[in-house]
């Protein structure tokens, strides 16, 4: 059997996908999975349009799509911890007496007046900036400016002083940290904002009705993911080796660093948890990337664990 899976960006957060492919876990199941790069929200659109069968998305985009009437269902979750970090250049922070050891609320207050790169408007990274600003007692609309741009452009923008920092998942923050030009203002992988976890960070989604019509495809796909998740926990060394090969142009130390956070956030089973939605929705509401009237009281019908269990 054949199926297609859209990958929104080349990122270590999709490690289970890469492992399943490299190790041939899907082949073992008798499923031929074609990976297709479709950036950002277009991947979800491609699923809705029926151009691809599956994609990965975070629950923030997932909930918003459903709230806007774009019905998609989640059939598995492969990452349950928020991976985003905000790093800000020393040049910006130093003159204000930033203390890296203070509480996250204190640190977030230093975002006042900062210009921060995010990957897309209304994305999870954008929401993270707003969330942090609010926790720091700032007005998220007025006190910080975000500037959406493509990730490689962010590095150029920070180095040339065009923006003061970025809000992204690894390895982007790690690169800057390693260069020593930025300090970490907020980082959930490093333990800030623990209330955000568990968070359905990487849902496997498809169109409603797809799995009903092709249950074996869904089952085989998720079985492959199950094996990949187990592999990552059981053989972290081998996992790292595979991913270093996949990201062969990236500094291996950065791969390992990012992978550490990813493995930590990787569940042992791809079951979709209700509280992953609850915390995601709370996060969206308080970050202001979901309107209060759109709040869902129940998540029933948005996901099924039929295949993940």
Partner 1 sequence: MRTFDRIAVLVALLAAWHAASLYFGAQWITTPWVTAQAFWRALMRGDLWHHGSYTLSAAVLGFLIGGIPGAGLPFVLRRMHTLRAVLDPYLVAGYGAPKVALTPLFIIWFGIGLASKVALVASVVFFLVFFVTSAGLASVDQKLIAAARVFGADARLIAREIVWPSAAPYVFTGLRIAAPYAIGTAVVGELISSNRGLGYSIQAAATDFDPAGIFVGVVALALVVTGLNAALGLLEARLLSWRPDDKTVERAQAAF
Q: Can residue 142 be called a binding residue for partner 1 (CB under 8 A)?
A: no
Helix (H) / strand (E) element for 37: namely: strand 32-37
Distance CA 301, CA 149 (A): 34
Choose, by CB under 8 A, the member of 27, 159, 245, 268 that binds partner 1: 159
Q: Does 69 bind partner 1 (CB under 8 A)?
A: yes
- Find the binder of partner 1 among 20, 33, 46, 58 (CB under 8 A): 46
C-alpha atoms less than 13 angstroms from C-alpha of 275 in its C-beta half-sphere? 6
Q: Does residue 177 touch partner 1 according to CB under 8 A? A: no
Nearer to partner 1, 103 or 145 (CB): 145
Contact status: 10 vs partner 1 (CB under 8 A): yes
CA 111 – CA 113 distance, rounded (Å): 6
Q: Does residue 31 touch partner 1 according to CB under 8 A?
A: no
Identify the CA nearest to 3 among candidates 31, 38, 36. 31
Name the token pair of 125: 């990274």
- CA–CA separation, 93 vs 226, rounded Å? 43
User: Is 150 an interacting residue with respect to partner 1 (CB under 8 A)?
Assistant: yes
Choices 44-52, 228-236, 257-265, 274-282; region in contact with partner 1 by CB under 8 A: 44-52
Q: Which pair of tokens denotes residue 117?
A: 């790169």
By beta-carbon proximity to partner 1, the closer residue of 210 and 307 is 210
Find out whether the peptide bond into 171 is cis, omega within 30 degrees of 0: yes
Q: Are 105 and 187 in contact (CB under 8 A)?
A: no
168 strand-pairing partners:
85
Residue among 17, 57, 122, 223 that touches partner 1 (CB under 8 A):
122
Tell which one of 19, 20, 31, 38 touches partner 1 (CB under 8 A). Answer: 38
Nearer to partner 1, 171 or 267 (CB): 171
Distance CA 145, CA 191 (A): 25
Distance CA 56, CA 40 (A): 10
Distance, first Cα to last Cα, the chain:
21
In the beta sheet, which residues pair with residue 3?
A: 33
Interaction of residue 144 with partner 1, rule CB under 8 A: no
Nearer to partner 1 among residue 155 and residue 285 (C-beta)? 155
**Residue (152 or 180) nearer to partner 1, CB:** 152
Using an 8 Å Cβ cutoff, are 125 and 170 in contact? no
- When binding is defined by CB under 8 A, the residue of 30, 68, 101, 300 that contacts partner 1 is 68
Options 90, 105, 120, 304; binder of partner 1; rule CB under 8 A? 120
Q: How far is the CB of 69 from partner 1 (least distance, A)?
A: 6
| Selected range binding partner 1 among 22-30, 77-85, 249-257, 269-277, rule: CB under 8 A | 249-257
> Where on the chain is the footprint of partner 1 (CB under 8 A)?
6, 9-11, 34-42, 45-46, 48-49, 51-52, 61, 64-65, 67-70, 117, 120-123, 145-153, 155-157, 159-160, 162-163, 175, 247-251
């Amino acid at each position: 059997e054949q199926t297609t899976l859209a990958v929104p960006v080349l990122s270590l957060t999709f490690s289970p996908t890469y492992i399943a492919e490299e190790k041939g876990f899907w082949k073992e199941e008798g499923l031929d999975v074609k990976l297709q790069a479709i950036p950002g929200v277009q991947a979800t659109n491609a699923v809705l349009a029926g151009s691809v069968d599956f994609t990965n998305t975070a629950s923030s985009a997932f909930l918003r799509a459903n709230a806007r009437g774009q019905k998609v269902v989640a059939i598995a979750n492969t990452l349950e911890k928020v991976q985003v970090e905000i790093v800000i250049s020393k040049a910006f922070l130093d003159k204000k007496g930033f203390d890296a050891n203070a509480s996250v609320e204190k640190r977030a207050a230093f975002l006042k007046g900062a210009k921060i790169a995010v990957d897309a408007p209304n994305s999870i990274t954008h929401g993270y900036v707003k969330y942090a600003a609010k926790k720091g007692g700032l007005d998220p609309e007025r006190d910080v400016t975000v500037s959406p741009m493509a990730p490689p452009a962010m590095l150029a923008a920070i180095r040339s002083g065009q923006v003061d920092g970025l809000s992204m998942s690894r390895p982007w923050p790690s690169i800057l940290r390693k260069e020593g030009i930025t300090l970490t203002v907020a980082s959930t992988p490093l333990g800030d904002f623990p209330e955000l976890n568990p968070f359905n960070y990487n849902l496997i989604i498809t169109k409603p009705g797809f799995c009903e019509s092709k249950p074996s495809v869904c089952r085989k796909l998720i079985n492959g993911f199950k094996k990949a998740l187990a592999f990552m926990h059981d053989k972290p060394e081998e996992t790292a080796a595979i991913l270093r090969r996949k990201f062969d142009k990236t500094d291996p130390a950065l791969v390992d660093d990012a992978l550490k956070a990813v493995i930590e956030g990787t569940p042992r089973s791809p079951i979709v948890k209700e509280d992953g939605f609850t915390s995601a929705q709370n996060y969206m509401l308080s970050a202001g990337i979901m309107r209060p009237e759109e709040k869902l009281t129940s998540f029933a019908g948005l996901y099924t664990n039929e295949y993940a269990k």
